Amino acid sequence: MRAAVLTEVNESLEIMDLETDKPRANEVLIRTATAGVCHSDLHFQEGKYPCECPTVLGHEASGVVEAVGSDVNYVAPGDHVITCVSMSCGDCRQCFRGNPHLCAHEGLVRAPGDTPRLSRKGDRIHQFNDLSCYAEQMLVHEKAIVKITEDLPLDKAALLGCSVVTGVGAVQRTAKVGPGDTIAVVGCGGIGLNAIQGARIAGAERVIAVDRLSDKLELSRVFGATDTVDASEVDAVGTILELTRGGVDHAIEAVGLKQTAEQCFNMLGVGGTATVIGMIPIGTTIELQGVALLAERKIQGSVMGSTRFRIDMPMYANLYLQGRLKLDELVSRTLRLDEINEGFEALRRGDVARSIINF
Ligand SMILES: [Zn+2]
Ligand SMILES: [Zn+2]
């Protein structure tokens, strides 16, 4: 099967023929339908976060089950599925505490010395996030997938697995934004637009989109932004403090920079919470004014939207089919696998919401 391989950090991806192992008892072989090109993949490709090479990146995908291991009852060949990074074992402390997105995945991956799921001429190809979606086939643990209705087109379904769950989930599950809240979303790419629609669906009164590109701000209105702030023209913090007469209840960071994380904290009103989704490069510290904590301002991280993905993904699918969750407007480019480097280039330029690869 063909896959886009990252042989070394900072190199372009190369299309190669790889071998996939047979599914073991709890594993599922999936024929990939669509994979999204996510900013997180770019962080690993650029070496801002460590990953073992050679590897196949990609963690947001949909597909059709091709074969299942002997103990798999959850899905059968022909079922439509979405993959999810935040697989959960159901047995560990975090799973029992109700935080399945924080599960350590023990027992869900093959041991380092074991036969690899992916290889090339007998040599190991590292599986990225235990998924590796930029490939015609994915061999994953059954806990890494969720079954979805066939009414949902597979190219739209892929987006639920990272950009939707991360953005909508951060707002609704991590930050618990509710009716009447005021929220600012800093960064209007694939994740930020989903944070914006998450706030709209949650009933937020005022949803302020912040970006440096005017076309992204225009698109943010489609997703539910009530106000837009062009950070290339004005000071975002000062403008928002003025617009809201003292600051927002929630600020969502969807860029992954020190500066924007600090801005999110600084635009909070009394009792407000900043939620950082963006992947701030390893080694970077963020600085806050200690006195601001006296008014119960908070800052927190969010990973995969604190998802319980086998509950959340079918719900998002229904919200889309009801016309309440927007997916069509998220896709700005559709590529073939051999055009994947163009998708990464577009991310670097920052000019698209989401590129998807259709297999
Ligand atoms: Zn992602
Ligand atoms: Zn667990």
Domains of the chain: 2-161+306-358 (3.90.180.10), 176-301 (3.40.50.720)
Residue with tokens 């927190």: 300
Structure confidence by residue, pLDDT tens digits, 7-16: 999 999 999 9
Best CA proximity match to 112, nearest among 124, 123, 103, 104: 124
pLDDT at 112: 86
Q: Region 289-296: what's the mean pLDDT? A: 96
Q: Is the pLDDT of residue 353 over 80?
A: no
AA identity, residue 324: R
253 Cα: distance to centroid of ligand 1 (angstroms): 15
**Angle at the Cα of 128 (from 123 to 134), degrees rounded to 5?**
90
124 Cα: distance to centroid of ligand 1 (angstroms): 24
d(CA 202, CA 177): 7
- Confidence label for 106 from pLDDT (cuts 50, 70 and 90): confident
96 Cα: distance to centroid of ligand 2 (angstroms): 8
Best CA proximity match to 172, nearest among 252, 93, 95: 252
**CA of 93, nearest ligand number:** 2
CA distance readout (Å), 59 to 84, 126, 159, 206, 234: 7, 13, 10, 32, 35
Q: Which residues pair with 300 in a beta bridge?
A: 275
**CA of 90, nearest ligand number:** 2
AA identity, residue 272: G
57 Cα: distance to centroid of ligand 1 (angstroms): 11
pTM of the model: 0.94
d(CA 313, CA 101): 13
What are the tokens at 325? 């969750």
295 Cα: distance to centroid of ligand 1 (angstroms): 33
Structure confidence by residue, pLDDT tens digits, 31-75: 999 999 998 899 999 998 999 999 999 999 999 999 999 999 999
